[in-house]
Structure 1
C-alpha cells in the first residue's frame, strides 16, 4: 500500500487499510475553504473514520453484503458528528469507496464513486470496475471550473452546483450522510482461481491511465508487480509537474497471493 498527500503540509484526505480477508480504499472529497463552518472535523477525519468503521465491520461480519456493510459504516460515522455538524449540507464531507473481500472462493467487490478497482485475471485483460456517473456529470462543469480562479466565489458556486448532484436520482452517488447511497454502488464477484492479483486505486493515482495516458491497465498491473505502488505515484507526480496539473492525493492498495489468504 501507499498513500501520498497532494503536497507537503496538506492533509491527506485518502485512506486505505486491510484486514485478513478484505481491503478498503476511501477517497475523501474536499475543495472548499470554510468547510470548518459546516463540519468541524473535516474531510480527512471523515475518510479515516469511514475506512476504520468498514474495516471493523469486515473483520467481524462475514456474511453481510458489502452494500449493507457500507450502509452501516456510513450510518456509524454520520452518528458520530450529526449533533455537531451540518451533515446534510451539500459541501459536508463525503467520499468515494472501493472494497475487496475474499469469501468462500470468491473475490467480492464494491465501488461507489470515482475510485477504481482492477482485478488482474490469469487469462485475459484485467477486469476494470469503475463508477462513471460522477465523471460524466463533472465533465459538464470542467471547462468552467478550470477557467475560474481557485478559491473564488464563482469557483465555490460551481463546486456547490456540481455537488448538488450528489446522491440524487440522475446524479452520482458517494458515501456521505445517507446510508441508502450504498445501494447504488457497483458490486460483483469473481472466482479467486481466475485472478493473479487486484488493486484498489484512488482517482489521484488512476490518472496515470485515464488522464495522462501513460499506461493501460495491463501496464499498470505489470509496474505494480515489478516495482510497487510508489513507482505508479512517482510517474503520476512527474506527469502532473510536466503538464502543470494540480496534484491530488494518490492512494494504491495492491493485493497479491489472493489464493493464499
Structure 2
C-alpha cells in the first residue's frame, strides 16, 4: 500500500486497513472550513467509519457487505449527531471500497468514486467503479472548468458548481456516499467472484485512479503492470508528475494491492 496527502503538511483524509480476509479503503470528502459544520472534520470521519467497518468485518459472521456498511454509517452518525450538523449537505462523507474473502468467494462493494480492479486471469480485468458522481460533475462542471483561472467568472462558476454537487449528493438521480444516512449503503455497487478465479485485486481512491480515468496516462492493464513491477507508490508518483505538468490541483491518493488471493 502507498498513500500521499494532497500537499505536504496537510492531513491525509484517505483511510486504508487490511486483515487476513478483508481490505477497506475510504476517501473522505468535505469543504474548507468544515469544522463549522462538524467539529471533528473529514479525517476523523474516515478513520471512525473505517474502524467501524474493520470491526464488523472481523466478526466473519456472514452478513452481507451492504448491511455492514449501513450499520457502520449509522454508528458513526450516532456518535456525533448531537454535536454536529449532519443534515448539512457538506458535513463529512466518504467513498467506500471493500474486498472480503469468505469461504470460496471474494465479495466486493464500491460506493462513490473509489475504484476496485479485480484480475480474473484469462477472463480479464473487472473494473468496479461507481460513475454517478462523474456524470454529475460533467453535467455541472464544464463551465467552471472552462472559466479563466483567477477570474470573477471562475469564482461564480465554482459557487454554482459546488451548489449543484451539494444538491445532488445522496439524492435520487444524483450520486451516493457514506455520510449520515444508513440507507445510502443500499446504493452501493456489489458483486462476488470465486476466489480461485482471481489472481489479485487493487483498490484506489480517485486521487490515484485519475492516472487512468481522468488523465488517460495509462489504461488499467498497464496501471496494474506498473503496480506489480514497481509497487503502488509508482502510481502516485506518476499521478503527481502529471498534475504538476498540467497545473492540476492535487488530491489525497491511495493505492492498495492485494496479491495471491487464490493462495
If the length of structure 1 is used for normalisation, what is the TM-score?
Answer: 0.95
Q: How far 1:124 sits from its partner (Å)?
A: 3.2
Pairing of 1:73-152 with structure 2 (within 5 A): 73-146=72-145, 147=147
Determine the structure 2 residue equivalent to 1:195: 198
- Indicate conservation of the 8 Å contact 1:20/1:59, yes or no: no
1:216 aligns with 2:219: yes
- Indicate conservation of the 8 Å contact 1:223/1:232, yes or no: yes
> Residue 241 of structure 2: which of 234, 238, 241 is its match?
238
Mapped to 2, the partners of 1:219 and 1:154 lie a distance apart of 36
> Residue 184 of structure 1: which of 170, 184, 187 is its match?
187
Q: Which moved more, 1:149-158 or 1:173-182?
A: 149-158
> Residue 251 of structure 1: which of 251, 254, 262 is its match?
254
The total of aligned residue pairs comes to 259
Mapped to 2, the partners of 1:36 and 1:217 lie a distance apart of 37
Mapped to 2, the partners of 1:89 and 1:158 lie a distance apart of 17
RMSD: 1.6
Q: Deviations over 1:30-51 (max 9, x none)?
A: 2x22211100111111111111
- Indicate conservation of the 8 Å contact 1:125/1:218, yes or no: no
Q: Which moved more, 1:60-69 or 1:83-92?
A: 60-69
Q: Which moved more, 1:142-151 or 1:60-69?
A: 142-151
Mapped to 1, the partners of 2:210 and 2:33 lie a distance apart of 28
Secondary structure of the structure 2 residue equivalent to 1:92: coil
Mapped to 2, the partners of 1:61 and 1:75 lie a distance apart of 20
Mapped to 2, the partners of 1:228 and 1:86 lie a distance apart of 40
Determine the structure 1 residue equivalent to 2:4: 4
If the length of structure 2 is used for normalisation, what is the TM-score?
Answer: 0.94
Unaligned runs of 5+ in 1: none
Q: Deviations over 1:139-179 (max 9, x none)?
A: 12222333375995763453132121111111111100000
Mapped to 1, the partners of 2:181 and 2:139 lie a distance apart of 25
Determine the structure 1 residue equivalent to 2:36: 37
Determine the structure 2 residue equivalent to 1:159: 162
Mapped to 2, the partners of 1:4 and 1:106 lie a distance apart of 31
Relative distance call for 1:204 and 1:38 in structure 2 (3 A) is: same
Unaligned runs of 5+ in 2: none
Q: Deviations over 1:206-230 (max 9, x none)?
A: 0110111111111111111111100
Q: Deviations over 1:10-36 (max 9, x none)?
A: 111111111220000001112x22211
